[in-house]
Structure 1
């Protein structure tokens, strides 16, 4: 599978030279990238790119994503719009049917809860922490209740209950005394663990949105997340299946292995400098990854995507990117009426 490459240091200039992109910094060649091997290029902060390089990326269908220095999504450069008009027509038609959307949404939420439980169960086995048993039982009960719900409101209630249970024990999965976690805080994150989770969820959404667009689907219309101006609801639907398995797992790994240290986190002014687009209206007390921490997190995130995983439904070994891409195409088949959507649950 082609590469995702992230350029995290400001001051880089990207030039084209034949079938290669040259990354230059202060006039010196820092790195080269083969265009034929690129699938996504993530540019953080002030990275300059020439017209020739942009045209080369467009011609080859490379998804170019622009993010703020702190990781907030700004936009993406895509080539010609997908020609899958009939697929999008099916998407608009079928997802406007409440009963159709609800069945897919139930599948997604059930998988999300089961995957949260899977991560906690593995942590219990690794850490030998029997205090997680009660929460694991609660998550099992909540997941088993999902197929019986009859309304979206009931489904949201179960998802919220599962989130409270899961994040209620998440701090016990952190075994590095330099870090602690008491509750999920989002906008803005209030501690280093939340900073990692928020940053990672943006990375995962960026990846999934690109896969959704490449498949010819409209990222803005999903089954579980309601349409909202500027929100990639379908991408967020599919992200739900993988939050725990990818982002939460990477966060726990980096902190427990002490690859991230407290000095890798700071205030908005320390983390963002002049780039304040990520900042929330009330950023007092906010904590973000600093440049070194972002590099470490992105490197581990991309490594996680390359890890081998078994798909029991297909009976094959692939990597996490392959699983995610498979889910996008399962969604496409479901909205065309070629079978039910089956969310991914790790065994």
Structure 2
């Protein structure tokens, strides 16, 4: 089990020797569901909402070098606990120096957004090919526009200009992406806080889960997740983690969301409206469906390029974090994931 998900308020997790003892009250059958998971089978833990997790178990996760991610009940990023990485203080000092360098910031931001736009274009091409829509006017216009924006990004000489092209390209991409959502769960425009429909709910949820994995990988590499290059540095914002989410939004998050909705793994009844903020969210008892599919996506092997080595998306995340490390230590221009 690569990831242990502790989901919902009724879950109780405690340490039992070298195993995690899990229990949850089953109100339907008036019974308690209980089972255990070996610690050595767990690579990471995701805590959603407010399940009961003993301090002894959290300590065990840290001693076993298992990162723990904390999300709100609505799937918003809260924080993480990762094994001690204070030995990389020199790397963080170099990262701080790199963040002050306009030249390095532009170089990194340029490559991030270029990879993001190329991936958005490739996703649209793949979706259109599956539906025999590659020659549709709207499809060709969107792909041609994205190619143009990618070229403009490579010529940009300020982070502000790069952000501008990224925003325009994303708007173009989402206008076309809406054509590939199911009719009963349509996507009309991007809404974030809160998500206004099921399509946006599953997109935001997936972005958050992937962002949590990236944040932990950054910390384990001895880097500061709050010190980014594309996103503004702001109190409490994991700017570097947000940076590295960008190239993976389309090829990982968006395709996963579309797969879940188009194959009816998630339906309208799996979502609920919340009166507190008017948002639409994935129901607590529906998250198991998401996580089963998510784990398959993250662990599935694929070739990064024609004839290239086979990787998983978790390996891709590690490679991108390593690319940042190499850049801050040697000023080497980074290369980020581009969908084959």
TM-score bracket for this pair, using the shorter chain length = over 0.9
Q: In structure 2, which of residues 158, 179, 183 is the aligned counterpart of residue 151 of structure 1?
A: 158
Q: TM-score, normalised by structure 1?
A: 0.91
Task: Name the structure 1 match of 2:21.
Answer: 22
Gap runs ≥5 in structure 1: 270-278
Instruction: Report the Cα distance in structure 2 between the residues aligned to 1:154 and 1:46, rounded to whole angstroms.
Output: 41
1:119-150 deviation digits (Å, cap 9, x = unpaired): 11000100112241111111111111111011
1:204-231 deviation digits (Å, cap 9, x = unpaired): 1111000000011000001111101100
C-alpha deviation, 1:103, in angstroms = 0.6
Instruction: Report the Cα distance in structure 2 between the residues aligned to 1:22 and 1:89, rounded to whole angstroms.
Output: 41
1:30-69 deviation digits (Å, cap 9, x = unpaired): 3322212222111112211223212211211211122222
Q: In structure 2, which of residues 329, 334, 337 is the aligned counterpart of residue 336 of structure 1?
A: 329
1:32-181 paired onto structure 2 within 5 Å:
32-129=36-133, 130=136, 131-174=138-181, 176-181=182-187
Task: Name the structure 1 match of 2:6.
Answer: 7
Instruction: Report the Cα distance in structure 2 between the residues aligned to 1:337 and 1:253, rounded to whole angstroms.
Output: 40
Question: How many residue pairs align between the two structures?
Answer: 332
Gap runs ≥5 in structure 2: 26-30
1:196 aligns with 2:196: no
Q: TM-score, normalised by structure 2?
A: 0.93
Task: Name the structure 2 match of 1:259.
Answer: 265
Quote the RMSD (CA, aligned, Å).
1.8
Task: Name the structure 2 match of 1:304.
Answer: 297
Instruction: Report the Cα distance in structure 1 between the residues aligned to 2:93 and 2:160, rounded to whole angstroms.
Output: 27
1:238-269 deviation digits (Å, cap 9, x = unpaired): 11010111110111111111111111111115
State the 4+ residue runs in structure 1 displaced beyond 4 angstroms.
none
